Structure 1
Amino acid sequence: MMGDASTWAAWVAAVTSLATLIVTTLVGGRREHRRWARESLTDAFVAFLEASWAHSDIVRYTPAEQPLDIEAAQACYAEMRSQLTRLRLLASGDVLRAGEDLLRCQRAAHEARPGSARQEALLTAARSRRVVVAAAKREMGLI
């Protein structure tokens, strides 16, 4: 009888250990995946917004008598598009709509004539950027 009870106890301990291992692996894996997704989302938001600010700076600080640094402005715009693609994979529709709107605003600022038209376009882009920041905070559960 003793051998049977100890064998049975060993089997119960092995099954319990296996179940604990499986549950720990699943929960830990999900936690790691959520952490990776959150970090990736944060990186994409930061890169998208940094490119937007850089683009605005390039467009804003171009004197009316000098041509716009097209290459630098296009590089920032391309970075925004690239990061928006990452956001499409990681974020909700609300975030994407806000990001797409900001991208259009940056394009409008780029194409606006120097002077009041460009300044107004930059103000519109700044307002749109604030909408993206708010959407990012909501997406990440910060507000």
Structure 2
Amino acid sequence: MDASGWAAWAAAVTSLATLVVTTVVGGRRERHRWARDALTDAFVAFLEASWRHSDTAGGTAGTDAYAEPLLAEYREMRSQLTRLRLLAADGVVDAGESLLRRQRQVHDVPAGPERDEALAAASRARRAVIDAAKKEMGL
């Protein structure tokens, strides 16, 4: 084989190596991008359900008419927390579980000062989830 033949083989091997490296690195980037996007979506959905739950509970003024909407938002939070368990670190999950417990307390106490106190505790727990989410995402 002459020099041009060796050069062609070298070019082909180099091209194949470049293709493999690009595919592997690109695939990893895509997986990381997907995981980050899925994690962001789970955080947003979890927190939005928490805020809706608190908003609904804050407007109940002692009526039972909001029991089902409160329960629906609580269920949504539980569902989103399952997604967070799959995607996030333990610190985030712990903060999410704490918020879920606080939201349940909001649901369980009667309207009035006790509920106001439970809503304030839920708000603090929500802030802890936000802080944990930012840390998890490197923000």
- Specify the TM-score bucket, using the shorter chain as the normaliser: over 0.9
TM-score by length of 2: 0.97
Name the Cα RMSD after superposition. Answer: 0.8
* 1:1-143 → structure 2 map (5 Å cutoff): 4-64=2-62, 66-142=63-139
Aligned residues: 139
Letter in 2 for 1:47: A
1:108 partner letter? Q
- 3-state SS of paired residue (1:58): helix
**8 Å Cα contact 2:54-2:103 kept in structure 1:** yes
Q: Per-residue deviation at 1:117?
A: 0.4
TM-score by length of 1: 0.95
Q: Is the 8 A contact 1:59 1:68 kept in 2?
A: no
Runs of 4+ in 1 over 2 A off after TM superposition: none
Is contact 1:87–1:96 with CA below 8 Å preserved after alignment?
yes
The CA deviation at 1:61 is 0.4
Query: Secondary structure at 1:114's aligned position in 2?
Result: coil
In structure 2, C-alpha distance between the alignment counterparts of 1:68 and 1:52, rounded to whole Å: 19
Please report how far the alpha carbon of residue 14 of structure 1 lies from its aligned counterpart in structure 2 after TM superposition.
0.5
8 A contact 1:95–1:139 mirrored in 2: yes
Letter of the aligned partner of 2:80 in structure 1? Q
Q: Deviations over 1:102-137 (max 9, x none)?
A: 000000010011110000000000000000000000
